[in-house]
């Protein structure tokens, strides 16, 4: 396993704040896995967050994967067989039903033509999960690749939790979505950056910030951030 390369890559995670930076960081994983493509997704059922990131994929392949995630037979089989936490050769999951396999690949391969794939899904608790997969056009992945992908998954868990934000609402009367927006404000992101990060419109974030100001009896964002910082310090 290429520990030096992984350690250098892990350092980049500390500085990632925006979706584009995630895509760029994932490019660094391709040589570590000798892979041609990489896919990463984060789901949070409670706050209806669904994030997808990739490296080495065309724009068409990324859009297709994001749109078809709920119809992904690899994902369905992986979860149905209780494989969470295990690194699995995804193509091996479709060997039981030849007709089903052919029908799925007929739809899937024109957009995502990788014959060799490894996948891993890690439960994060409270309806959250982290999924990652690496892909090759030639040569199957070996056992070392499985160990490397598992190590990458373990390194991504704390980052994933931070990216998704708090998993429970603040006890000061905020909704879960408002609590997560507040968390991003405290990290220094502005409204446009929060909208990009959460995959929602600027108007949605503007409305949530307005609600935050009303519920916390603050006149502007600076007062809100200062008040929440003081609250955080007093709680510790």
> Which is nearest to 78 in space by CA: 45, 42, 121, 115?
121
DSSP code for 143? H
| pLDDT for 141 | 96
| pLDDT for 69 | 86
How many other β-carbons are positioned within 10 Å of the β-carbon of residue 220?
A: 9
pTM of the prediction? Answer: 0.85
The span from the CA of 158 to the CA of 100, in Å, is 37
How many other β-carbons are positioned within 10 Å of the β-carbon of residue 65?
A: 20
CB 156 within 8 A of CB 181: no
How many other β-carbons are positioned within 10 Å of the β-carbon of residue 216?
A: 18
Max CA separation in the chain (angstroms)? 63
- What string of DSSP letters covers 4-52? HHHHHHHHHHTT--SHHHHHHHHHTHHHHHT-SEEEEEEEETTTTEEEE
Q: pLDDT tens digits, residue range 121-132?
A: 999 999 999 999
The span from the CA of 152 to the CA of 147, in Å, is 9
Per-residue pLDDT of the chain (236 residues; tens, 9 = 90+): 566 677 778 777 777 878 889 999 999 999 999 999 999 999 999 888 999 999 999 999 999 999 988 888 999 999 999 999 999 999 999 877 788 888 888 888 888 889 999 999 999 999 999 999 999 999 999 999 999 999 999 999 989 998 999 988 887 788 999 999 999 998 889 999 999 888 889 999 999 999 999 988 888 888 988 888 776 655 54
Q: pLDDT tens digits, residue range 191-233?
A: 999 998 888 899 999 999 999 999 888 888 889 888 887 766 5
Average pLDDT over the chain reads 89
Angle, helix 3-13 to helix 143-164, in steps of 10 degrees: 10
Coil, strand or helix at 200: coil
């Amino acid at each position: 396993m290429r520990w030096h390369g992984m350690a250098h890559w892990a350092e980049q995670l500390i500085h990632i704040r925006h979706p584009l930076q995630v895509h760029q960081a994932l490019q660094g994983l391709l040589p570590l896995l000798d892979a041609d493509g990489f896919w990463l997704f984060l789901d949070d059922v409670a706050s209806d967050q669904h994030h997808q990131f990739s490296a080495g994929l065309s724009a068409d392949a990324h859009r297709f994967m994001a749109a078809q995630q709920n119809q992904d037979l690899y994902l369905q089989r992986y979860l149905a067989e209780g494989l969470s936490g295990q690194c699995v050769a995804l193509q091996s999951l479709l060997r039981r039903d030849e007709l089903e396999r052919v029908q799925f690949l007929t739809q899937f391969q024109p957009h995502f033509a990788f014959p060799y794939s490894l996948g891993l899904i890690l439960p994060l608790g409270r309806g959250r999960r982290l999924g990652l997969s690496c892909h090759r056009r030639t040569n199957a992945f070996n056992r070392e690749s499985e160990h490397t992908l598992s190590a990458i998954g373990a390194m991504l868990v704390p980052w994933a939790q931070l990216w998704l934000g708090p998993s429970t609402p603040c006890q000061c009367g905020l909704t879960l979505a408002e609590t997560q927006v507040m968390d991003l404000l405290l990290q220094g992101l502005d409204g446009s950056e929060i909208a990009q990060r959460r995959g929602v419109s600027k108007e949605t974030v503007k409305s949530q910030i307005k609600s935050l100001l009303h519920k916390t009896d603050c006149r502007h964002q600076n007062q809100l951030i200062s008040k929440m910082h003081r609250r955080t310090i007093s709680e510790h």
